[in-house]
Amino acid sequence: MDGILQVRRPFDCRHHISNNAQFLFFGISYKPSHSSRRGFSSHGMSLRLSVSASAGADFSKKRENKLSTSRSRTAANPKGFVPKTPVGTDTQKRVQRNKGEDESSGLREVGLDNIKIHAAKGSRERLESGQEIPEIEARAVEEMPSEENKVEDSSQKLKLETEALLHRQVLEGLAKENFSRGNKLFTYPEVVKPGQDIELFLNRSLSTLKDESDVMIVGAFNGWRWKSFTRKLDRTHLNGDWWSCQIYVPDQAYKIDFVFFNGKNLYDNNDQKDFHILVEGGMDADSFEDFLLDEKHKELEQLAKEQAERDRQAEEQRLMEAEKAAKEADRAQAKLEVEKRRNNLAELIKNALTSVDNVWYFDPREFKAGELVKLYYNKSSGPLGQDNEIWMHGGHNGWQDGLSIVAKLVKSAHTDGDWWFAAVSVPDGALVLDWVFANGPPQMATVYDNNYSQDFHAVVPQSIPDELYWVEEEQLIYGKLQEERRLREEAVRAKAEKTTRMKAETKERTLKRFLLSQKHIVYTDPLEIQAGSTVTVYYNPSNTVLNGKPEIWFRCSFNRWTHRKGPLPPQKMLPAENGSQVKTIVKLPRDAFMMDFVFSEKEDGGIFDNRNGMDYHIPVYGGIAKEPPLHIVHITVEMAPVAKVGGLGDVVTSLSRAIQDLNHHVDVILPKYDCLNLSHVKDLHHQSSYSWGGTEIKIWFGNVEGLSVYFLEPLNGFFWTGCIYGSKNDAQRFGFFCHAALEFLEQSGFHPDIIHCHDWSSAPVAWLLKDHYVQYGLSKARVVFTIHNLEFGVEFIRKAMTYSDKATTVSHTYSKEIAGNPVVAPHLGKFYGILNGIDPDIWDPYNDQFIPVSYTSENVIEGKQAAKKALQQRLGLKTAELPLVGIITRLTHQKGIHLIKHSIWRTLERNGQVVLLGSAPDPRIQNDFVNLANQLRSSHSDSARLVLTYDEPLSHLIYAGADFILVPSIFEPCGLTQLVAMRFGSIPVVRKTGGLNDTVFDVDHDKERAHAQGLEPNGFSFEVADPAGVDYALNRAIAAWYDGRDWFNSLCKRVMEQDWSWNWPALNYLELYYAARK
């Protein structure tokens, strides 16, 4: 039997009842109506009847007989439908023999009813006329229904019985017809629609359950994806072994899926194909998918709402606990402060006087806080005898509020000395008055009488009681501490909110720039596309491999080519308004989070433009579905700030954080060196151990800069050397680590999508994975390998390039510069240049603790002026408004040390200042710069300073205080110095090489190149690595500072607003990760 119950011609009573047949049911004349061929309603089966009825006594007797017979027979039957009793059975004969008795009985019942009705009528009439009636008659009146209601009830019963009989006859017909066709099941109604109850019938004799006493059904809807159910079937009285149950069909159903079983382990599952019934008139499969997405969206929204509420409550609780702890701390501090003041004041009171003969006194002698008293002073008694003005500078209670009383004394009429006096208001709460005398007001006095450096102190005679004062004082201190804390927390909160807002705005600008970065090839209208909307895609084939092709076909899908509906059919693109472009319109599904597409020359393929294997991807916003996270594992020997040597460590940490911020899961595996900077590791603990390579390896886990980090410590001592690099067996150490890291992943059950390894030191991961682990637990992992510097470990890099799925280096220009290298050249098809970024949280002038004034692009000039002044003061330079050139670098030949020396002298010639921070790993170079530093200290001590060491706080101050940052590298794979400089509003002066060329656009020569990247020019550059070249850039930079300060200040603001963080590079790396997994 076919597992799907198809819709066929509904059962028609005319197959069983002739057109002219007329029956008498319970005294009712019935004849089928032919106004409807179906005879079934949408919610069940009903026949159109032509019914006429008379209320004669004969009808009543027959009706009562039929009703009695029907009731007794139906009550005795089990659940299901009663089969027809064949003519001539014993039952029919008994009915015929008793017919006369039944009719007379019915007549007697009717007569009794009539008596009750007449009696009730009489009683009702007497009640209405106000007459009393017996209680039994009154009760009869209450219980007696009206004649109209009784007739209506009888008609309703008659209708129901008629429908039940017709229903039974229809089911009998369906059962007979289906059995004759060999169908083991059918439904009533035959056309199943959503939102109704249906009856499902199974012929057990045709089922594998034919010998079972229990028959059950288990099922669900829409491919077993919606609302499962289990029911027990009951045997019916239909002819044959028919069993049935009732099932409600939900509104969302388009198919019913089910199997039968005996309640244990015996099933009838339609030969392992299951049974299916199609549902008409409701959702289709696509609509149901959308419905499920809506339900999932509602569920996620509810979960998010509940989580937000839990977070809010947790935050509220945290704030309450923090507030409580802060109050307790403030109260404790107030107590300590009061105790300290009390002890100090007790000592003052002990030594304080009420007057000193021939020096000073108060009038009146007895006074209290809040009163006005006169303080008399004999000028001739101290060092102010020759001064013409006398001032009193005072306070109270040991100067607890500082200088709070200032009064000018005037000449007194006393003749027994050179007495002067002033009216002084005694402060509230004063126990002791403190003062000195001076020859002028504050900030102008030059001579003081301070009682031989002990100041003057006088007791306030009528001060408030001691204990009460200190209670009030403690409360005042407590209130002051609370207010200071409140203001401090508000400032921190406001600063954090502004930082978050600026980061979000920067990220939004960068994303728009990212979407427009391919505008010369492809873009959409609108630029930001929403799920469920329609978007127009514009494509310019003239800038691609499809240039000149007569046709362009658009091939598209969604969600990284994994959408449930699969790819859309290829669409032929039509000419756009712009003659060089073609366009097509795409309807985005509601569950899209990414639109993926490529272009081809033919409908069936041919030449493709797939963006060099990366495909085109545009994020979709507002969708019901969210992008599932990738799991990326970095295997590396460096990580800032716990194990940092160079830029590699910065990249690992910053890239990992940026990818994690995009809602992906990132882990880092690092050797546990004995020289780790553990102060930057949170919650470090030993997690477990495993054996491999002939030794035990301890697994430590901790959190670094918000990242999960696994530290591997082999007990063979490979990483107990006190250094990261520099051992004679570095290759052996790092090779062991790479193999141990993969073994850790395999034994721990990790299944990463991407394993990212870096430079020669973790290059072995690429081939070890493919040779030893892909066939085991790491089968889905893909390898991405990044070259940070091609100068070291060439053979390791060569092998990693061969085995990796994708490879990168740290800037686009550097990738072109090394493309001809034999290590790289054979693999250009999978080799990409992706620019590094900087961490905006580490390099942030708005939240930098090492600079005097926080600033953003809004107040960049004020902030940099304050930093320049602080830098000049710290290094002993002349505090003046001069152009200041900063140089922060390792002193190696790669960094152009001969150009650095030349630039120092050139800047001094142009009346500028120079600050250099850096050191040389080569002692000869270091000594050379030590001599230069000594020479400059002798000849230009107020204009040049060389700090030949590493000083992190000073580097921040130089970035903020310098007007220019010089980077004259001979080669530079990426370079971070110029990026940090722009973050602080300093203008880069660089040589055009590697990443310097990709990030610095000359204000005079690179406007078009900058605009192609969605940027404005931002610095000064030169090409030839000689003194003339660097002079060309440096002269223009210093001239701009002197000649166009307004323009120069606007340039500082501009470079601060450019985003050189990991926002853009992280998006490029994500594209690469997904391409590696294709």
Q: Is the pLDDT of residue 464 over 80?
A: no
DSSP conformation class of 1019 = B
- Distance from C-alpha of 186 to C-alpha of 340, rounded to nearest angstrom: 95
CB 915 within 8 A of CB 958: yes
Alpha helix (H) residue ranges in 940-1044: 952-961, 977-983, 994-999, 1007-1012, 1027-1043
Task: Measure CA of the first residue to CA of the last residue in the chain; give whole Å.
Answer: 43
Q: Which of 590, 745, 721, 734 is nearest to 671 (CA)?
A: 734
Q: pLDDT digits over 739-765, tens only?
A: 999 999 999 999 999 999 999 999 999
The stretches of 876-972 forming alpha helices (DSSP H) are: 897-909, 923-939, 952-961
pLDDT value of position 144: 57
Q: Which residues contact 190 (CB under 8 A, 6 or more apart)?
A: 7, 8, 10, 11, 40, 174
Report field, pTM of the whole predicted structure over 0.85: no
Beta partners for residue 682, in sequence order:
703
Least confident of 92-101, 636-645, 685-694, 967-976: 92-101
* pLDDT the model gives residue 113: 43
Write the burial class of residue 382 (CB in 10 Å: 0-12 exposed, 13-18 middle, 19+ buried).
middle
- For residue 10, give both structure tokens: 């509904």
- Record the tokens describing residue 144, joined without a space: 């007696």
**What per-residue confidence (pLDDT) applies to 110?**
38
The SS3 of residue 460 is coil
At 335, which amino acid appears? K
User: pLDDT tens for residues 323-372?
Assistant: 999 999 999 999 999 999 889 888 888 888 889 999 999 999 999 988 99
Q: Does residue 52 surpass a pLDDT of 70?
A: no
Residue 48: CB partners within 8 Å, gap ≥ 6? 32, 33, 35, 36, 39
Which segment of 47-56, 215-224, 337-346, 903-912 scores lowest on mean pLDDT? Answer: 47-56
Helix (H/G/I), strand (E/B), else coil: 870: helix
Structure confidence at residue 555 (pLDDT) = 98
**What is the predicted pLDDT for the residue at 344?**
87
Tokens representing residue 391 in the block = 């001032």
Half-sphere exposure of 1068 (CA within 13 A, CB side): 23
For 648-690, what is each residue's pLDDT tens digit? 999 999 999 999 999 999 999 999 999 999 999 999 999 999 9
Task: Look up residue 839 and give its two tokens.
Answer: 């961490």
Q: Tokens for 337, please give them.
A: 């402060």
> Is the pLDDT confidence value at 896 over 60?
yes
pLDDT over threshold 80, residue 117: no
pLDDT digits (tens, 9 = 90+) for 361-412: 999 999 998 899 999 999 999 999 999 999 999 999 999 889 999 999 999 9
pLDDT tens string 1025-1040: 999 999 999 999 999 9
Tell me what pLDDT residue 137 has: 52
pLDDT at 55: 33
CB atoms within 10 A of CB 990: 28
Q: Which residue do the tokens 């009985």 mark?
A: 105
Neighbouring C-beta atoms of residue 766, cutoff 10 Å: 25
Number of other residues whose CB lies within 10 A of the CB of residue 280: 10
pLDDT band at residue 469 using 50, 70 and 90 as cut-offs? confident
Question: Would you say residue 3 has pLDDT above 70?
Answer: no
| Statement: residue 461 has pLDDT above 50 | yes
In this structure, of 19-33, 447-461, 578-592, 721-735, the range with the lowest mean pLDDT score is: 19-33
Instruction: Give 649's Cβ-side CA count (13 Å radius).
Output: 18
What pLDDT, on the 0 to 100 scale, is given for residue 813? 96
What is the rounded average pLDDT of the residues 846-856? 97
Token pair belonging to 17:
């009842």
DSSP string, 290-336: HHHHHHHHHHHHHHHHHHHHHHHHHHHHHHHHHHHHHHHHHHHHHHH
Share of the chain above pLDDT 70, in %: 86
Residue 307 has pLDDT above 90, yes or no: yes
Can you tell me the distance from the alpha carbon of 240 to that of 364, in angstroms, rounded to the nearest whole number? Answer: 126
Give helix 135-143 / helix 99-128 axis angle, nearest 10°: 110
Q: Phi and psi of 128, rounded to 5°?
A: -65, -30
Tokens 């501090």 locate to 333
Report which DSSP code applies to 543. G
* Alpha-helix residue ranges (DSSP H) falling in 182-282: none
pLDDT at residue 64 is higher than 50: no
Instruction: Provide the pLDDT for residue 125.
Output: 52
Q: What is the mean pLDDT of residues 504-521?
A: 91
Per-residue pLDDT at 75 exceeds 80: no
- Residue 885: which residues within 8 A CB-CB, separation 6 or more? 903, 907, 912, 913, 914, 915, 962, 963, 964, 965, 966, 989, 1034
Compute the half-sphere exposure of residue 482: CA atoms within 13 Å on the CB side of its CA: 13
- At 636 the pLDDT is 98
